[in-house]
């Protein structure tokens, strides 16, 4: 497990070190260097897959998510360097806050990677709670009244959710203890999978309900989503990118781990209908709410709720094709939504506002930024030839073949959200530019935007054979 230890040690040590580094250029560079080292270390997991221990487990499912998390963490650190430097120049942040930001950023990466690699259910819960605490602190970074209110709402709602997840984890331990005895074994995922058919299904069912509601709060599923738009709107834009692109994936990963435990017990309830209901509800609610948003970051936060609803629906449907679509959608949404927030971050700095009615004509005033944002919105709307079109097409066709009545609201929700995205992107990207434009902070920080969009475009046209085989293996693991 030396490789896993390295992947976790780099962001943890970087977080501790960045607390002590003065200035604002050096911490940004160290943040990038640490993120790059974490990403390179994560790639070795594809070559050397260590055996599971009582603390860590690595399989096809979480290795791909660890690499995705490390990659988006790297590109977001590149974007952060220019974005945060601009905030320093205009006086919105002070150097001390900057040092705190970069330290918390690496701590956030550490907690997410720990949650993804943990074999112990309790350690995974602690890591998700740690990710909540680090992001709460970053959401309130500007110390404005609205920012502190958003951070408190985030903390309270997700605190309630994570408490329910803790109760569900305790119930899971209580269900396993009569079969496996007291101790670590009853909290270890790999050992639980082997003995799960012997576990009392009634306690198991109750545990999953609490776990789905608890971790579903972190996923942003309706009606537990109220924290997510405020956190996106009031925090720094790089945090919006990693919240939408990474943290929501970690939360749905936790739900799926428990879903696999439930599926291993033939007498337990089928978790699929619960997930399908919450997924559809989130998709439809977010689709309609998109039409009423006036803040650009809040607008794309509701888009994240929509797509997490699609992903939850896909895994609730289950089966090889729907699971494959859900896995592909997780990766495509992470890359696309973080790219959109990179573009939105620059646009709000250029215009000096987050109100969409004051952000117009970006393709005229700032062509590289405007066309990049347009491509990102086209991709997230599910149009070809981008990867999200492929995942949504697979999911809709699979649902039509198996449950035609469920396919109708699924397709309706996707189309409702599509209409809102097309409506808003026209006024943002086209027409005569409005408002006061400021200098773009750092030109090369547009590189992460186009790198992500390039990957999403390639995935929509061609997915390499080994990656298809990888996703098929994971789809089979999910049942």
Cα 95 from Cα 296, distance rounded (Å):
27
Q: How far apart are CA 350 and CA 362, in angstroms?
A: 10
Question: Per-residue pLDDT tens for 34-86?
Answer: 999 999 999 998 887 666 678 888 888 889 999 999 999 999 999 988 888 88
**Every domain of the chain and the residues it spans:** 1-207
Give the integer Cα–Cα distance in Å for 284 and 331: 22
Percent of the chain with pLDDT over 70: 96
Does the pLDDT of residue 157 top 60, yes or no? yes
One-letter-per-residue 3-state SS of 178-224: HHHCCCHHHHEHHHHHHHHHHCCHHHHHHHHHHHHHHHHHHHCCCCC
pLDDT > 60? residue 479: yes
Residue 452: closest CA among 347, 345, 337, 356: 337
Closest Cα partner for 76 from 451, 456, 479?
451
Q: Which of 431, 440, 233, 430 is nearest to 341 (CA)?
A: 233
- Convert the pLDDT of each residue in 271-291 to its tens digit: 889 999 999 999 999 999 999
Q: How far apart are CA 457 and CA 390, in angstroms?
A: 11
Q: pTM for the whole thing?
A: 0.94
> Taking residues 444-471, what's their average pLDDT?
88
């Amino acid at each position: 497990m030396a490789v896993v230890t390295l992947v976790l040690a780099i962001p943890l040590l970087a977080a501790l070190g960045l607390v002590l580094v003065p200035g604002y250029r050096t911490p940004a560079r160290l943040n990038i260097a640490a993120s790059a080292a974490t990403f390179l270390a994560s790639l070795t997991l594809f070559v050397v897959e260590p055996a599971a221990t009582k603390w860590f487990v690595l399989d096809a499912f979480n290795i791909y998510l660890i690499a995705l998390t490390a990659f988006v963490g790297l590109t977001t650190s590149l974007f952060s360097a220019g974005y945060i430097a601009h905030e320093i120049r205009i006086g919105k942040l002070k150097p001390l806050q900057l040092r705190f930001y970069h330290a918390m950023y690496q701590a956030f990466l550490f907690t997410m990677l720990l949650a993804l690699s943990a074999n112990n259910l309790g350690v995974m819960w602690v890591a998700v709670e740690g990710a909540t605490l680090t992001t709460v602190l970053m959401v309130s970074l500007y110390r404005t009244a609205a920012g502190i209110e958003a951070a408190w709402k985030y903390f309270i709602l997700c605190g309630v959710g994570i408490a329910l997840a803790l109760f569900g984890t305790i119930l899971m331990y209580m269900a396993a203890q009569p079969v496996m005895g007291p101790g670590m074994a009853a909290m270890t995922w790999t050992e639980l999978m082997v003995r799960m058919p012997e576990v009392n299904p009634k306690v198991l069912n109750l545990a999953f309900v609490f776990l789905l509601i608890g971790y579903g709060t972190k996923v942003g599923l309706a009606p537990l989503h109220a924290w997510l738009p405020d956190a996106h709107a009031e925090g720094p834009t790089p945090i919006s990118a990693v919240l939408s692109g990474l943290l929501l994936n970690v939360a749905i990963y936790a739900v799926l781990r428990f879903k696999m435990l439930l599926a291993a017990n033939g007498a337990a309830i089928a978790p699929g209908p619960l997930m399908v209901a919450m997924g559809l509800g989130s998709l439809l609610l977010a689709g309609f709410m998109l039409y009423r948003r006036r803040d650009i970051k809040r607008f794309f936060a509701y888009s994240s709720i929509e797509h997490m609803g699609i992903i939850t629906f896909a895994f609730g449907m289950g089966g090889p094709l729907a699971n494959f679509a859900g896995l592909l959608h997780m990766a495509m949404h992470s890359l696309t939504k973080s790219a959109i927030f990179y573009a939105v971050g620059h646009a709000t700095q250029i215009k000096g506002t987050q109100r969409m009615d004051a952000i117009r004509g970006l393709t005229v005033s700032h062509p590289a930024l405007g066309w990049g944002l347009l491509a990102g919105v086209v991709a997230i709307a599910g149009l070809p030839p981008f990867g999200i079109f492929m995942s949504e097409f697979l999911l809709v066709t699979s649902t039509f073949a198996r449950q035609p009545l469920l396919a109708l609201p699924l397709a309706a929700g996707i189309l409702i959200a599509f209409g809102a995205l097309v409506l808003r992107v026209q006024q943002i990207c086209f027409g005569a530019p409005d408002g006061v434009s400021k200098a773009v902070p750092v030109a090369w920080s547009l590189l992460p935007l186009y790198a992500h969009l390039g990957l999403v475009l390639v995935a929509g046209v061609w997915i390499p054979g080994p990656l298809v085989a990888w996703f098929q293996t994971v789809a089979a693991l999910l049942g």
